[in-house]
Structure 1
Amino acid sequence: MKSMANSKLFSVLFIQLTLVLVLLDLANAQGLKLGFYSSSCPSAEAITKKITTNFISHTPSFAPKLLRMHFHDCFVRGCEASVLLNSTTNNQAEKAAIPNLSLNGFQIIDAVKAALEKKCPGVVSCADILALVARDAVSVIKGPFWPVPTGRRDGRISLASEVLTNLPFPTFNMTQLKSSFASKGLNVKDLVVLSGGHTIGISHCPSFTNRLYNFTGKGDTDPTMDQNYIAQLKKKCKPGDTTTIVEMDPGSSKIFDTDYYTVVSKRRGLFQSDAALLTDNTTNAYVQLQKTPKGSTFLKDFADSMVKMGQIGVLTGNSGEIRKICSRIN
C-alpha cells in the first residue's frame, strides 16, 4: 500500500514538474524569458512601472493609447519597436501612416528609456519597454496584469508602406479579421479576446461614420447597427467631422471590464470589426458568454492573449540592436 501511495505521489509530482517545464518553455519562446534583466539591470521593471504609474495616475486616458501603440507595433514587423522610429529625410516611418497619426504616449516611452539609460546604459530595449509599459498602464487602471517575458531587441527598419497591409482595419469583416490575425499566429479566440481591448478608449468619427451616412455608397446606414445608436452617433458626428471623439464603450470607456461585450451583443459596437464578432459562431458564443460579469473569463483570457501577441516576430540574441533613443536607430 505504501509503495502504491509513493507511486501515486511520484506520478503527481512528475505531472506537476512537466507542467512547470511546459510553462517555462512557453515563457522562453523565441528567446524571451521572464526576468531577462534580473542580472543586467535588476531594477528595470520596477523603474518602468514607477514612471508608467506616475503618468497614468495623472492621465488615465494614456492607458488605452499605450495598449494600442503596442498592438500597432506588434502587427507590423513584430514586437520590435519599429512604430517608435521617426521618419527621416529618406524614409517615411510607420508613424507617418494614416492609422498611426493618432498614436499618442510616445513621451512616456521616452521617459522610461531615459531613466533606464541612466541606470543601465545600452541594456534595456525599446521593444521591451513598450511591452512592459502597455501592461503596467492597463494594470494601473485596474485592468488585468500579465507576465511579460523580456529579451526583445529593437528593429532598424520602419516603413509607412507596411502599415496598411498589416494592421486590421475597423472596417474589416470576419473573413478579413481571421486572415489578419492568423497571419500573426493568433487564433479566433485571440481575435475576439483582443477586440475586448475596445472596452477602454475613444475613437475619432472618420473610423465609423461610413456606417452612419453612406454604408453601401447610396447614402444609407449599416443595417447591422442598432438604429437608436445610429441616431445618437449622428448627433455627435456630422458628415466630414474629423475631430470629434466618441467612446468605444459608452459610459464605461475608462474601466477595463466586460461591458464591451454587452455593447456588442446589443449591436452597438462602434466599428464594423466589432459588429463582425456576431457573424461567426465561435466569436458570437464568446461575446454572449462574457457579457455577464459573473463567470466571465475575459480578464484572464485577455492576459493570455496579450502574452501571445507580445511574442509576434520578436528579435532576440544578436538580431537588431538596443537603441539608445527609441525614436531613432543607433
Structure 2
Amino acid sequence: MASKLQPIVVFLCLSSIFVRQSAAGQCPMSGTSSGRRSLKQAGPSLQFGFYSSSCPSLDNIVSDKITWYTNEDGSTPAKLLRLFFHDCVAGGCEASILLNSNGAGPAERDAPISATLEKFNVIDDIKATVEAQCPGIVSCADILALAAVHSVRLVGGPTFSIDLGRRDGWNSYASTATSFAPLSTFKVDALLTNFGNIGLDQTDLVALSGAHTIGEIHCTNFADRYQGSSPFPDWNFGNEMYNYCSNYGASPDFATLNRKTFMETLTPNFFDAQYFVALTQGRGMMTSDQELYNDWRTRPLVEAFAADRNYFFDSFVSSMQKMGRLGVITGTDGVIRKQCWASP
C-alpha cells in the first residue's frame, strides 16, 4: 500500500503571515506583496453591537440568507467558516480573501491554497441585500465574520456574538495566502510556532482545530498517512479510508479520483465535540489533526474537549473572537466596499 502512494502535502486552513493596509497607503489590490509584517490583536474600536443603530437589520439579514443557502446546500456553513479563517490568516480579518485578481497579479482567492474555497457568492448576495437597506455602512469583513458566527450556530454549535467595526482592505496578494502556511503534515512543534507567529496560543490551536468537526476533506490531504511516518493509529479506519480514496487500489495515488470525505465521519454536518473524540480513537484525518492527541502538550485539551462539549464551545468562542481581531482595519482606515469582490 505505502509504496504506491506519492506523498502530497497541502495547506491547512490557518497560515501565519499578515499584511496590513490603510487608505493612507493604497497600493494595487493584487500582485506581489512587500513590507510584510506580523500582525497581532487589533487596537481600539471593535465593538459588540456596532451596527445596532446604523443597520439594525444586519443580523437578521445574515441569518436568513445563510439559513436559505444551507437549506439548498448543507455544506454551506463549513465553507463559510473556512472562508473566515482564510481571510483572518492572510492579511488580517479585512475581507482580502474576497477580492478578485486584477492586472497587477493574482489575489488571495486565486492562490493554490485557496483553490477549494467556495461560497463567495453567498457573501456577495448578503452584501447586496445589506447595501440595499444600509448603503455604505457595513463592511465585507464584518459580513464575513457574522456569516461565520451564524454558520456555527446553524449546525448546532454555540450561539455567540462577535465584536464588529472592521473596515475593508484594499490589497490582496496570492503570496500572502501561501507564505509560511502550516502544512497538513506538521506536528505540534511546527503548529505552535505558526500560531504563535500570529498571536495565537496553544489553546487557540486546539480549539480552532475543532472547526474540523464539520466539512469535507480531499483524500490528497492525508495521503502522507500511508507513507509510514504518521500512520492512522486505528489501522482499520485507515484501511477503510485508503479503500475509499483509491477505489480499492484502482487509483492508489489518490489524486486521480480526487475524492472527498468528511473531516469527521460520525456527525459530519453537526458542530459538536466528536472531532476530539475521533482523535482519541486514532481517527484524525490529517497528521496535523492526530498529532494534537499524540503530543503530550496538546493531548490534555483534546481529552478535555472530547469529554465536555460545553468546555470546547466556550474555548472555541473565545478563540474565534480572538482570531477575529487579528489585523483588522478600523476607524477611518480602509474602506467600505460596495461589492466585496472589487476594490474601490
Residue number among 120, 141, 148 corresponding to 1:134 in the alignment: 148
Contact 2:42/2:326 (CA < 8 Å) preserved in 1? Answer: no
Equivalent residues in 2 for 1:256-275 (5 A)? 256-275=271-290
Partner letter of residue 39 of structure 1? S
Q: Once the 2 structures are TM-superposed, how far is the Cα of residue 76 of structure 1 from its aligned partner?
A: 0.8
Contact 1:95/1:101 (CA < 8 Å) preserved in 2? Answer: yes
CA deviations 1:103-131 (Å, max 9, x no partner) are 01111101110001111111100000000
In the alignment, is residue 121 of structure 1 matched against residue 129 of structure 2?
A: no
TM-score of the aligned structures, taking structure 2 as reference length: 0.82
Change in 2 beyond 3 A, CA 1:221/1:143 = same
State the secondary structure of the residue aligned to 2:100: coil
In the alignment, is residue 86 of structure 1 matched against residue 76 of structure 2?
A: no
**Which protein shows a greater Rg?**
1
Partner letter of residue 310 of structure 1? G
In the alignment, is residue 222 of structure 1 matched against residue 237 of structure 2?
A: no
In the alignment, is residue 181 of structure 1 matched against residue 189 of structure 2?
A: no
Equivalent residues in 2 for 1:244-259 (5 A)? 244-259=259-274
Q: Once the 2 structures are TM-superposed, how far is the Cα of residue 314 of structure 1 from its aligned partner?
A: 0.4
Q: Once the 2 structures are TM-superposed, how far is the Cα of residue 264 of structure 1 from its aligned partner?
A: 0.6
Instruction: Show the counterpart of 1:110.
Output: 124
For 2:245 and 2:93, the matched residues in 1 are separated by 34
Once superposed, which parts of structure 1, at least 4 consecutive aligned residues long, lie more than 3 Å away?
Answer: 27-30
For 2:253 and 2:286, the matched residues in 1 are separated by 17
State the secondary structure of the residue aligned to 1:256: coil
Q: Once the 2 structures are TM-superposed, how far is the Cα of residue 224 of structure 1 from its aligned partner?
A: 5.4
Choose between structure 1 and 2 for higher RCO, CA contacts under 8 A separated by at least 6 residues.
Answer: 2
Contact 1:76/1:166 (CA < 8 Å) preserved in 2? Answer: no
TM-score of the aligned structures, taking structure 1 as reference length: 0.86
In the alignment, is residue 241 of structure 1 matched against residue 254 of structure 2?
A: yes
Partner letter of residue 286 of structure 2? F
Contact 2:225/2:232 (CA < 8 Å) preserved in 1? Answer: no
For 2:141 and 2:98, the matched residues in 1 are separated by 9
For 1:277 and 1:60, the matched residues in 2 are separated by 28
Instruction: Show the counterpart of 1:47.
Output: 61
Partner letter of residue 59 of structure 1? D
For 1:108 and 1:287, the matched residues in 2 are separated by 33
CA deviations 1:195-244 (Å, max 9, x no partner) are 111111110111111212xx3xxxx4634542212211111112333320
Residue number among 62, 80, 84 corresponding to 1:70 in the alignment: 84
For 1:127 and 1:225, the matched residues in 2 are separated by 40
What are the ranges of 5 or more consecutive residues in structure 2 without an aligned counterpart?
1-40, 247-251
Q: Once the 2 structures are TM-superposed, how far is the Cα of residue 28 of structure 1 from its aligned partner?
A: 9.2
Equivalent residues in 2 for 1:90-101 (5 A)? 90-101=104-115
What are the ranges of 5 or more consecutive residues in structure 1 without an aligned counterpart?
1-26
Residue number among 185, 188, 193 corresponding to 1:171 in the alignment: 185
